[in-house]
Amino acid sequence: MVIRQGCSKRKGPYLFPDRNAELDYLRWADQVVRGLQYLHSCNVVHGDVGIKNLLLSDEKDLKFSDFGGSSIDQSNLLVEPSPRYHRMHSWRYPIQGVDSPEETWQLPTRKVDTFAVGTVLYEIFTGALLYGDKDYDEIRRIFTRQEYPDLTDIHIPEVRKTIQACWAERYESMDDIIRDLKGILEEDD
């Protein structure tokens, strides 16, 4: 089952609307962040992290998929990722009047994946695609203005803070995200 099938344009819990849903969401947040932490430790930048590239096993565990555009050891990405999961400075093709010439294409960094974590967490905890009713150019313009949706529907303060910090690109690594979510994520120790 692909998790994206559970996301809609509407707001509100959608994937598993039961009492255990929040526990699933927290476990998925942990799996996404720790999975990317592992990839980064192997010098791999996924580069296209998003709900569309997360699979859900029968045991309700998340699995990363579609590594076709990943960067290994600072190689170029081979695909242009969805704008829902990246700020404008990681784009190959500029939009006239939005991007400056120096903000067209850069080698992918771990920050590309950390920004995407914010959007993935938003979509997991709200059950809605970020700007699902907008086209890609419109999303890029919104991100250029650094405008993001209200997060009050997400009632876990650590998750809200983490999403905001991801979108503001304040994290250097997945370790920083794990630190901010410590206490609510499952410990594997």
Cα separation of 175 and 93, whole Å?
31
Report the DSSP pairing between strands 54-56 and 62-64. Answer: antiparallel
Q: Which residue among 18, 24, 30, 48 is the active-site one?
A: 48
Active site residue 175: no
Neighbouring CB atoms inside 10 A of 11's CB total: 13
Contacts for 166-171 with beta carbons within 8 Å, 24 or more apart?
166/114, 166/115, 166/116, 166/117, 166/118, 166/119, 166/121, 167/115, 167/118, 167/119, 169/87, 169/111, 169/114, 169/115, 171/111, 171/114
Residue 27 is which amino acid? R
Residue from 81, 62, 55 nearest 140 by CA: 81
Q: Are 120 and 85 in contact (CB under 8 A)?
A: yes
Cα separation of 157 and 154, whole Å?
8
Which residues carry out catalysis? Answer: 48
